[in-house]
Chains A and B, each alone.
Chain A
Amino acid sequence: MAVFTRGFGSRRRESDPRVPPGQYVTEDFPVLSAGPTPRIPTEDWTFGIRTEDGAVRSWTWDEFMALPIETVETDIHCVTRWSKLGTTWRGVSLDTLFAQVETSAEHVMAHSYGGYTTNIPLDDLLDGRAWVAFEFEGEPLAPEHGGPARLLVPHLYFWKSAKWVRGLVMHEQEDPGFWEQNGYHIHGDPWTEERYW
């Protein structure tokens, strides 16, 4: 039985095919963070990928900046129901990073400065669909939005785009990260509304 809300709908926005179901468009840039914002000077920053045999490939900030940098224009979607359209980022593709790593594990746990974690299948990070981004709309990424660098996986809900990312750890099986243990879906596709447990 449909439940109608009497008198609702007079302030509706135009629908937009770029907006996944259950989302609304926002012009500003809300912040979803479970705790305080860590501050990481770029001179102390490193990013590493640890494989299933314990090998670590890591980059300093300067080494990272010397990698091929891509400009990404994309829409982003937060599980708290806002979407932001046409955002522009600069960062390094995960394809570039994984080209320097030998792994046969299929799952990834992203780890952040401050202790945040999120799990992502490796397939979702490859083929031009994920980056480590350090610039937003032409400016260095602000700390509250994940600077100096965050994961950018825009085809999944944005909690997967770990702020303050410091590394990826390869896992043989799918283990849940922080929000995945605290109520959010293990995968997080916004188009099929993989929001919650």
Chain B
Amino acid sequence: MRTSGWLPATITAVVATTPHARVLTLDVPAWPGNAPGQHLDVRLTAEDGYQAERSYSIASWGPGTAVELAVDEVPDGEVSPYLVRDAQPGDMVEVKGPLGAYFVWDAADTAPVQLVAGGSGIVPLLAMARAHDVLGSVAPFRMLYSVRSPEDAMYRAEIEALGRRSLELTWVYTRRAPDGWGGTVGRLTPARVAEATWPPERRPLTFACGPTSFVEAVASALVAAGHDPARVRTERFGGT
């Protein structure tokens, strides 16, 4: 499938999902549908013609013209503060996509899947978990979701529900856990990664997405534990 040109999109809903992140639903009449895990480019045009473009992962999947994004505000950013603070239903943007054919879950694949998310890295993984849930896939799914504190978890209620219904869910809190939570608080160690993920003998396909340092640590821990590097797919954001 060839990438489209810029497609007009209307924001139809904005919902806060954390104190610094928002879920935006777009209606894109010309959207061709997308696979779980893909991303798109967004272009904003100011009234004087000034433009800015950014890439965002897609939280939704499948056919249809409703496209869901979840955007975390980048301090000092240019586009994310607009999308998180200013954009309202009825506002228009343009999108190009869907993009990427590698960080994608194939719903016909029944191999075990390990999802590992750090912060807003949950977005493309949620698309996979949603597809898996809705399709009733028999692929065993596990999700490890690392957040600073309970309030920083995007889609918290939905992910808890998926955890009760169709995947095995492990939370990691790096700064503060919910009251009464018995587990460890702090950065993910290789031992905790090994504990909360499929063992290498299951030959899972792993998708890890999050800040660069988080994904580096997780992917290194998985390889050190004996996972085939070719079955660990990664997407990183932010610098070193």
Contact = CB atoms under 8 A, between A and B. Distances in A.
Is B a genuine binding partner of A?
yes
B93 A5 contact: yes
A145 B236 CA distance: 12
Contact of A22 (B2, B53, B88): B53
A75 B101 CA distance: 28
B240 A8 contact: no
A77 B101 CA distance: 21
A34 B8 CA distance: 30
Interface in B40-79: 41, 43-48, 50-55, 77-78
Contacts of B99: 183, 196
Contacts of A32: 236
Question: What is the interface of chain A mostly: helix, strand, loop, or mixed?
Answer: loop
A37 B220 contact: yes
B216 A12 contact: no
Contacts of A179: 102
B86 interface: yes
Interface residues of B, number: 51
Contacts of A178: 102
Contact of A30 (B1, B50, B216, B239): B239
Contacts of A144: 212, 216, 240
B175 to A, nearest CB: 22
A68 interface: no
Interface in B1-18: 1-3, 6, 8
A13 B222 CA distance: 40
Interface in A122-138: none
10 contacts: A1-B8, A7-B91, A31-B240, A34-B233, A35-B233, A36-B222, A37-B216, A37-B219, A115-B229, A182-B101
Interface of A: 1-13, 22-24, 26-38, 80-81, 114-115, 142, 144-145, 178-179, 181-183, 195-197
